[in-house]
A and B are shown apart, each in its own frame.
Chain A
Amino acid sequence: MARIRTTMLGVGVFALLGAVAMPVASAHSRPANAPKITLTVAEWTNPPAIQATKLLDQEFQRLHPNVHIQLIYAPTTGGAWGSMQRAQMAAHSVDVMAQFSISGNWPRPYMTGLQPSLLEQWINAGQITNMTNMPFVKKDFPAGEQMRLMGYKGKIWGVTLASYGRGGVFYNQSIFQRLHLAVPRTFSQLIHVCQVLKAHHITPFMVGAKDGWDQMITEGAIEQEIPHAQAANFVKGLWTGRTTFANDPVFRKILTRYKMLSQYFEPNAFGEPYAPTPGLFAGGKAAMLVDGSWDGYTIHQANPKLHFSWFPLPMTNTVAKNNMQVAGDFSWVVPSWAPAKKMALQYVQFAAQPNHYHQWEDIVGAIPTEPQTHLNALPWMSTELKFLPHKQFEFSIPHPQQLGPQGYVLGDTAYLKPQGPYTIPQLLSVATQQWLGAINK
């Protein structure tokens, strides 16, 4: 009887020990027992970025088996992305969301009546997490860079992972080689390239001017014309009425140069929307495509055999001025009320870790924001890489609210003759009138 009792006791002790040990053991072997978390990640449709994010998500889920990542995305065209991000924010149903960099584009005290951007409005409403003191922001990114890209009111509200060249063109390397054309470094050289192409019955530029894509030329030009150290003063001059489109010769110069280049656009460029232009360029319809450097993947997908690269348009005749202009782009932010905020911040930190970032960057092909990440030079980035050492982050010119349709001269290219009703002096005068009307209202 005593033996039976002893055996029973032994079994009981084992069972008890087993019961205590089991959760410990399963916590190591099956952490899936932890509470299930669904992490909703939102970004706009950019095929390589989505591909790279999906890969990142898989690795994050492998590390956190209790986490299920729901990646949602919508195209920026047709207002779909705008609607989606508004809806997600209003419903408090997103954990990590992509945003374009703030890039210093917020209203200054002298910009009377200017409303902040949507992201800045969310920040003002306390809906975005302040990442200023998060260790990974300081560890993985160069000091000051994230403040420049995602800083607002002295704090950092997200991390920018990608930036891209703007104000440039993709060019067909085979055509350039065949005609012995070098990448132009001055405006005169650029015109020469266009003349040679036209003489050979090749359309020099493809441009989605119906959607205003040609404004990349004028906006790139102002970035090259105005020394960036003087940009703040220049913008203040415009906002206080000291500088106007009519009284500063730089605007006339830019529009004149734009007009010279516009002779080399494809016929009816102003009826052509942006969406099909990368495909048309990939199909050989033109030698150059006015675009930002983010579209390399799309062109490559449309025609994998095409040899092409990207260079910044030289809009002045001084080589030193014709730098590559770069804009902060893809950035992660975490809403302050995110349903799984702790995990969301871990996700952003995970994405910023150099090894994961490097992998993401290799697919996306953007200009990296982490210094230790070296571009793995996707085939179409060969020329772009040569310009990178002299890159400049763009400054922005915020527009007054309720500005008339011709109020911002660099965006008014469609109003110029022959496609529009105005000559350059007329347009400068109309734009000045409307700008002054809007800032003095």
Chain B
Amino acid sequence: MNNNVFGRRGWPKILPALGLAPALLFYIGFHVYPSIMTAVYSLTQYDGIIGTPLHFVGLLNYRDAFHGGFYQIGPAIRTTIIFALAVTFVQNAAGLALATAFNGKWRGITFYRAMIFLPWILSVVVTGLIWSLMFAPIGGPMESIWQSLFGHQSAFFGSYRMALPLVIFVQIWQNTGFTMMVYLAGLQSIPQELFEAAELDGASRWRRFRHVTVPMLASSTTVNVLLAVIGSLGAYDIIYVLTNGSFGTMTLGMYMFNTAFEGSSQLGYASMIQMLQFGMVLIVTLILQRYLRRREVQL
């Protein structure tokens, strides 16, 4: 059966294909081709200089990464996992708490929601600058607060104890507004009758939240968790602005960026790191998606 509404013969027949072509070409040119070439480059020692040979080395980059180079890539994987776990848990908890708190109809609520959402629309550079100034160890507002609270000074983004937690905090600060909005949309789509019925049955506030709100937010949770995991496993931009990967904040994304674009370009090795990162995101996402979907059905 031919469903082509433009016609079955002549040029109208190819009209749908023509309409799709620009987007398809764009997708192939800017998504499929770079992805394939990243996989190809990961098997080379390509330096990115046009006109130079790719210099295929097979799996040498992968071997190096888990041999001599493991001193570098091992801590980066560890930092990435810590970063992703902390961001995903805290961001979702904070997003859900805020969504619950701002799911009312009181005066000025839209303004407060907008304020919480605001960091999400700021560029990473602006966010980085704001927090670098806030935590400037000489004259920054947090310096005096920190000293009055804890009685000692801190180098903040230049401290091994503080840098990673602070970078995680900034990442959460920037993205919680979006998480809250997704939860808010989920909350507002829950039929009020369910809450009323639970209330009539004598369910407490906590039980209503636990047994009505949480199950009904399952699909919002799936979306939020997956977005947070994928975003944080690939994060490098905010880290680049805040610490440039120093002081224990070198994630895989940051390590890949530095290898590709700092000093002598090692695009081949950087592509290999990118492939590892891709593998990590793929495995984690597949497992999570399977778990979250099953949970949605159960709930």
- Our pick among B45, B50, B154 for the contact of A90 (Cβ within 8 Å) is B50
Q: How far is the CA of A124 from the CA of B45 in the complex (A)?
A: 14
| Residue pair B47, A115 in contact (C-beta under 8 Å) | yes
CB contact list, A383-441 vs B, under 8 A: 400-407, 414-415, 419-421, 433-434, 437-441
Q: How far is the CA of A419 from the CA of B45 in the complex (A)?
A: 37
Q: How far is the CA of A124 from the CA of B64 in the complex (A)?
A: 24
**Also in contact, A125 and B49, with CB within 8 A (given A272-B138, A280-B138, A402-B269):** yes
Q: Is the interface of B mostly helix, strand, loop or mixed?
A: loop
| Residue pair B68, A271 in contact (C-beta under 8 Å) | no
Q: How far is the CA of A273 from the CA of B269 in the complex (A)?
A: 29
Interface string of B238-262 (1 = CB under 8 A from A): 0000011011001000000000011
B209 within 8 A of A: no
Instruction: Determine which residue in B45, B48, B70, B155 has the highest number of CB atoms from chain A within 10 A of its CB, and name it.
Output: B155
A241 to chain B, nearest CB (A): 12
Interface string of B57-68 (1 = CB under 8 A from A): 000000011011
CB contact list, B116-155 vs A, under 8 A: 132, 135-138, 143, 153-155
A82 within 8 A of B: yes
**Also in contact, A420 and B158, with CB within 8 A (given A212-B246, A271-B136, A402-B69):** no
| Residue pair A121, B67 in contact (C-beta under 8 Å) | no
B21 to chain A, nearest CB (A): 28
Interface string of B153-195 (1 = CB under 8 A from A): 1111111100000000000000000000000000000000000
A140 within 8 A of B: no
A210 within 8 A of B: yes
| Residue pair B49, A127 in contact (C-beta under 8 Å) | yes
A65 within 8 A of B: no
**Also in contact, A117 and B71, with CB within 8 A (given A266-B138, A419-B155, A419-B159):** no
A216 within 8 A of B: no
- List of B residues within 8 angstroms of A276 by Cβ: 138
- List of B residues within 8 angstroms of A401 by Cβ: 69, 266, 269
| Residue pair A441, B68 in contact (C-beta under 8 Å) | yes
A207 to chain B, nearest CB (A): 11
- Our pick among A82, A116, A122, A267 for the contact of B262 (Cβ within 8 Å) is A82
A92, closest chain B residue (CB): B50
- Our pick among A121, A285, A405, A439 for the contact of B52 (Cβ within 8 Å) is A121
Interface residues of B (CB under 8 A from A): 45, 47-52, 64-65, 67-73, 75, 132, 135-138, 143, 153-160, 243-244, 246-247, 250, 261-266, 269
| Residue pair B71, A125 in contact (C-beta under 8 Å) | no
A26 to chain B, nearest CB (A): 42
- List of A residues within 8 angstroms of B52 by Cβ: 121, 124-125
A435, closest chain B residue (CB): B71
A299 to chain B, nearest CB (A): 17
- List of B residues within 8 angstroms of A227 by Cβ: none
A270 within 8 A of B: yes
Interface string of A206-220 (1 = CB under 8 A from B): 000111100000000
- List of A residues within 8 angstroms of B64 by Cβ: 113, 402, 441
A208, closest chain B residue (CB): B158
| Residue pair B264, A210 in contact (C-beta under 8 Å) | no
Give 3 nearest A-B pairs by CB, closest first. A441-B68, A404-B71, A271-B155
**Also in contact, A121 and B49, with CB within 8 A (given A79-B261, A268-B138):** yes
**Also in contact, A270 and B158, with CB within 8 A (given A118-B264, A124-B52, A125-B52):** yes
Q: How far is the CA of A441 from the CA of B50 in the complex (A)?
A: 28
A318 within 8 A of B: no
| Residue pair B264, A121 in contact (C-beta under 8 Å) | yes
Q: How far is the CA of A403 from the CA of B156 in the complex (A)?
A: 26
Q: A404-B71, A404-B72 given; name 5 further pairs at CB < 8 Å.
A: A210-B158, A271-B135, A272-B158, A402-B72, A441-B67
| Residue pair B264, A268 in contact (C-beta under 8 Å) | no
Q: How far is the CA of A127 from the CA of B157 in the complex (A)?
A: 40
**Also in contact, A267 and B153, with CB within 8 A (given A83-B261, A419-B159):** yes
| Residue pair B69, A438 in contact (C-beta under 8 Å) | yes
Instruction: Determine which residue in B132, B143, B157, B264 has the highest number of CB atoms from chain A within 10 A of its CB, and name it.
Output: B264
- Our pick among B70, B71, B264, B269 for the contact of A116 (Cβ within 8 Å) is B264
Q: How far is the CA of A316 from the CA of B260 in the complex (A)?
A: 38
A415, closest chain B residue (CB): B160
CB contact list, A265-297 vs B, under 8 A: 266-273, 276, 280, 285
| Residue pair B68, A270 in contact (C-beta under 8 Å) | no
A79, closest chain B residue (CB): B261
CB contact list, A241-276 vs B, under 8 A: 266-273, 276
Q: How far is the CA of A266 from the CA of B137 in the complex (A)?
A: 10
| Residue pair A270, B71 in contact (C-beta under 8 Å) | no
| Residue pair A82, B261 in contact (C-beta under 8 Å) | yes
**Also in contact, A271 and B156, with CB within 8 A (given A121-B49, A402-B64):** yes
- List of A residues within 8 angstroms of B72 by Cβ: 402-405
B265, closest chain A residue (CB): A118
Q: How far is the CA of A112 from the CA of B9 in the complex (A)?
A: 65
- List of B residues within 8 angstroms of A118 by Cβ: 263-265
- Our pick among B69, B157, B250 for the contact of A271 (Cβ within 8 Å) is B157
CB contact list, A60-108 vs B, under 8 A: 79, 82-83, 86, 89-90
- Our pick among B48, B68, B73, B138 for the contact of A440 (Cβ within 8 Å) is B68
B51, closest chain A residue (CB): A125
Q: How far is the CA of A401 from the CA of B137 in the complex (A)?
A: 33
**Also in contact, A268 and B153, with CB within 8 A (given A121-B47, A441-B67):** yes
CB contact list, A105-159 vs B, under 8 A: 113, 115-118, 120-122, 124-127
**Also in contact, A437 and B264, with CB within 8 A (given A268-B155, A271-B156, A285-B138):** no
B42 to chain A, nearest CB (A): 14
B140, closest chain A residue (CB): A271
B231 to chain A, nearest CB (A): 22
**Also in contact, A121 and B265, with CB within 8 A (given A270-B155, A271-B156, A280-B138):** yes
> What are 21 A-B residue pairs whose CB atoms fall within 8 Å in the complex?
A86-B261, A115-B47, A115-B264, A115-B266, A117-B264, A121-B49, A122-B49, A210-B157, A268-B138, A268-B154, A271-B156, A271-B158, A272-B137, A272-B155, A285-B138, A402-B269, A403-B71, A405-B71, A414-B247, A439-B68, A441-B69
B34 to chain A, nearest CB (A): 16
B162, closest chain A residue (CB): A271
| Residue pair B50, A210 in contact (C-beta under 8 Å) | no
Q: How far is the CA of A211 from the CA of B262 in the complex (A)?
A: 14
| Residue pair B154, A271 in contact (C-beta under 8 Å) | yes
A81 to chain B, nearest CB (A): 12
Q: How far is the CA of A406 from the CA of B143 in the complex (A)?
A: 28
Q: How far is the CA of A414 from the CA of B75 in the complex (A)?
A: 16
Q: How far is the CA of A420 from the CA of B155 in the complex (A)?
A: 11
